[in-house]
Amino acid sequence: MNEKTFARAVSRKISARAFYGVLFAAAFGLNLVWETAQMFAYQTELNEGWLKVFISCTGASVIDAVVTVAIYALLARLMKPNNAKFYIGAAVLGALCAIGFEWLAFRFGLWSYSEQMMVLPAIGTGLLPFIQLTILVPSAIWLAGKLKEI
C-alpha cells in the first residue's frame, strides 16, 4: 500500500467515525426533545421532580441514539446508504425496536402509560413511542448526513 492509498483509507476511517459521532448527537438531540415532550402520556409519581424526569428522558435518549447508530451500521452493511430503501429499512427497524422496548418495559415494570396515551391494539404499544423511533431513526440519519456536509 503506497502513502496515498494509506492516507485515503485513514481519511475514510476518520470520516466514518466522525459520521457516527454526528449521527449519535443528532439522534440524541431529536430523541431528547421527543422523550421530554411525550412525558404527559406516561404515568409518573406526583412527587417525582422535573429533574428526575429529565434524567430518565436523557437515559432513554442515549439508548435511542445507540440504537440509531446500530441500525445505521447494520443497514450500511446490507445496502447503499441514503436511498429510499435505506430510509424505509431504518424506519421499519426503528418501529421494531420501539415495539421491543415497550414490551420489555412493561414486562419488567419500568413504566406505564397514562390515560392520555393512545395504544395500538394489535401490538399493545403506545402510539407515541411507536412513531418516535419509526420517524426519528431515519430523520437522525438524514440530519447527520446533512450536518456532515457542512
pLDDT digits (tens, 9 = 90+) for 20-58: 999 999 999 999 999 888 877 776 655 567 787 788 889
Outline where 38-83 has alpha helix (H). 50-78
pTM of the model: 0.84
CB-based contacts of 18: which residues, under 8 Å, 6+ apart?
148
Domain-wise residue ranges, the chain: 3-149
DSSP bridge pairs for 113: 42
pLDDT for res 45: 55
12 vs 140: which has the higher pLDDT: 140
Give the mean pLDDT of the chain.
Answer: 85
Name the residue among 39, 35, 63, 26 with its Cα closest to residue 138.
Answer: 26
What number of helices (H) and strands (E) belong to the chain?
A: 4, 2
Name the residue among 79, 84, 93 with its Cα closest to residue 135.
Answer: 93
